[in-house]
Amino acid sequence: MLSLRSLEQLNFDNSYARMPEEWFQRTRPLPLKDTHLISFNARVAQRIDLDPCQVNPDQLARYFGGHEALPGSSSLAMKYTGHQFGQYNPHLGDGRGVLLGEVLNQKGERWDLHLKGAGQTAFSRFADGRAVLRSSIREYLASEAMYGLGVPTTEALCLIGSEEYTSRLGMEPCAMLCRLTRCHIRFGHFEWLYYSKRHDELKQLADYVIQRYFPDCQAHENPYISMYQQVQTQTAYLVALWQAYGFVHGVLNTDNMSILGETFDYGPFTFMDHYEKDHIANKNDDAGRYAFSRQPNIVHWNLACLAQTLLPLVDRASLEETLETFPQEFEKQLLQRRKVRIGLQASHVNDADLIDRLWTLFAKHRTDINRFFSDLTDQQYPLNLSQSLDQHTQKEPVAWQQWLNDYQQRITLEASSPPMRKQQMRAVNPRFILRNYMAEEAIREATQGDYRLVNQLLSVLRNPHEQHTELNHYQDAPPDWAAAICLTCSS
Ligand code: AMP
Ligand code: MG
């Protein structure tokens, strides 16, 4: 029988704080002025055995607004480095966040609590250490949206507002977000120890990661290559999901890559309203290094950066051999993720061709892919350009009807009945996706002190496959003004 706890009773066991002192700066969050609770996620609270009935808004605003330390926590800012836009930057680290500690729950899982926007640390360089309400709401909602879609992600326990302001797009209110994930170790943690030639400590970090996240690797002849293989596999799975849902991360620097293959460090991300292969989410990314279609290659490049750091522990040939398998691994995952979105479970020779033709049509017509898949899920057979599909296909009805005919023929080879298939498709085709304009609306209202939409969207995105009567208009096509939304590194 699991028993739930209050915030004061959380079972902290801070293993990272027991690692070498040079790996972090021991520091406390700097409180924000006049903090208040904006939102609390009771689902996420269960991760740490926290009883939602035993928390109150004032207490959350105190602990997660940086005013008071949670009993048992041992806060620190982690040191890491990384490649930013292709260049190695040795001066990184938690510049505006602190790891409060790790909670060991009754299932034996270890969850990191990290407070983002917690003020300056030794790694802040010239910046203010703060996060603004706008970007914090985006991360808060995106974490739940990814969870709802079944895409690996960090999560968020609560969002705290304040009366403190800082300069971004003009003066903006500051906020703090409590991020929960099993892992705050980035590719950049390995890069730091490798490039500063601390190879004994590199081994110590790898041993820590293996013990904590990849214990099966211990039985392998070389646990480090086995660990690398698992990181690569989980990362290939992640990026395949991004590509299948039209998600653009925006800033795929190696310091934003979790070694657990979770979507990590939300900034100027976008779920595309209209499919565009070369969509650039981040206005600051002039060269389009992190454009949608480049994500798999960039992630491969980032994995090469990680592999490089393991050279003191693994022979080069094994690393290169594994790294070479990434494109294949990714393509296999991508095909699978795309297939299930159109309800294909079995394998047939022409599947890849059928899928490619569909995505070519998407690119040609800038299809709203997430609405397309949702509408396709609701279709009756035989398929035709009925009203609900017509809105996606009207630009080239002949080509679309041809594709639908071939698809329908392919469907006859499936063992599943139409109702079963509909159920399978609905499970991977959400009715709701976090579009930029939805986040913008929630931000606009929150800036006026009204947090209802943040909280409503949180529950919609947690269960995006269900109907949500009062918010069903978010299933419709986005408004025209959505196209003008501009995201930057400060988003
Ligand atoms: P990001 O672009 O959020 O992934 O951050 C890249 C690096 O800049 C990390 O080392 C961050 O900790 C740091 N950083 C970003 N924003 C701030 C800020 N407002 N204050 C201090 N450090 C920051
Ligand atoms: Mg980052």
Q: Per residue in 196-213, pLDDT tens?
A: 999 999 999 999 999 999
Domain containing 320 equals 193-263+278-336
| Domain presence at residue 212 | yes
How far away, in angstroms, is 129 Cα from ligand 1 center? 7
CA-to-CA distance for 87 and 219, rounded, in angstroms? 36
Q: Which residues pair with 166 in a beta bridge?
A: 172
pLDDT, tens digit, 9 for 90 and up, residues 285-318: 999 999 999 999 999 999 999 999 999 999 999 9
Q: Work out the mean pLDDT of the chain and round it to a whole number.
A: 97
Task: Decide which of 294, 316, 336 is a domain's last residue.
Answer: 336
Q: Is 465 part of any domain?
A: no
Per-residue confidence (pLDDT) for residue 394, from 0 to 100: 85
Ligand 1, residues at Cβ distance < 6 Å: 92-96, 123-124, 127-130, 251, 256, 265, 267, 489
Max CA-CA distance within the chain?
66
Q: Which residue has the tokens 């400590």?
A: 201
Q: How far is CA 389 from CA 244, 368, 379, in A?
A: 19, 11, 8
**Considering the domain boundaries, does residue 50 fall inside one?**
yes
- Whether 201 and 183 map to the same domain: the answer is no
The rounded distance, in Å, linking the Cα atoms of 346 and 413 is 8
Judge if 322 and 356 occupy the same domain: no
Statement to judge: residues 145 and 224 lie in one domain: no
Say if residue 74 is in the same domain as residue 174.
yes
**Annotated active-site residue in 49, 94, 112, 255:** 255
Q: How far is the CA of 172 from the centre of ligand 1 (A)?
A: 17
> Are 100 and 180 found together in one domain?
yes
Show which of 286, 307, 336 is a domain's final residue: 336
Nearest residue to 98 via CA among 83, 112, 81, 110: 112
HSE-CB at 264 with a 13 A cutoff on CA atoms is 23
Query: If pLDDT is split at 50, 70 and 90, which confidence band does 392 have?
Result: confident
Q: Is the domain of 201 the same as that of 301?
A: yes
Cα of 365 from ligand 2 centre, angstroms: 34
| Same domain, residue pair 163 and 254 | no
Q: Does the annotation mark 255 as catalytic? A: yes
Which residue's alpha carbon is at the smallest distance from atom 18 of ligand 1?
Answer: 129
| Distance in Å, CA 275 to ligand 2 centroid | 26
Whose CA is closest to atom 11 on ligand 1? Answer: 95
Examine residue 135 and state whether it is found in any structural domain, yes or no.
yes
End-to-end C-alpha distance for the chain, whole angstroms: 43
Quote the pLDDT of residue 212. Answer: 98
Q: Are residues 409 and 325 in the same domain?
A: no
Q: Does residue 152 sit in the same domain as residue 232?
A: no
Instruction: Tally the residues of the chain.
Output: 491
Query: Quick check: is 427 in a domain?
Result: no
pLDDT at 107 over 90: yes
C-alpha closest to that of 309 among 210, 401, 394, 195: 195
Q: Categorize the per-residue pLDDT at 371 as very low, low, confident or very high, splitting at 50, 70 and 90.
A: very high
Q: How many whole angstroms separate alpha carbon 91 and alpha carbon 85?
A: 14
pLDDT, one tens digit per residue, over 75-95 is 999 999 999 999 999 999 999
Contact between residue 298 and residue 242 where contact means Cβ atoms under 8 Å apart: no
pTM: 0.98
| Domain edge (last residue) among 170, 187, 204 | 187
pLDDT of the residue at 309: 98
For residue 315, tell me if it sits in a domain: yes
Domain annotation covers residue 322: yes
Whether residues 245 and 394 fall in one domain: no
SS3 of 24, please? strand
The single residue listed with the structure tokens 């910046």 is 127
**Residue 358 in tokens:** 């569909």
Q: Domain total for the chain?
A: 3
Q: What are the tens digits of pLDDT across the range 133-192? A: 999 999 999 999 999 999 999 999 999 999 999 999 999 999 999 999 999 999 999 999
Give the position, in ligand 1's atom list, of the atom nearest the Cα of 128: 20
Does residue 405 lie in a domain region?
A: yes
417 SS3 class: coil
Place 444 in a pLDDT band, splitting at 50, 70 and 90: very high
DSSP β-bridge partners for residue 102: 112
**Which residues lie closer than 8 Å to 182 by C-beta, 6 or more apart?**
109, 110, 111, 112, 213, 260
Regarding whether 282 and 210 lie in a shared domain, the answer is: yes
Q: Quick one: 330 and 299 in the same domain? A: yes
Half-sphere exposure of 349 (CA within 13 A, CB side): 0
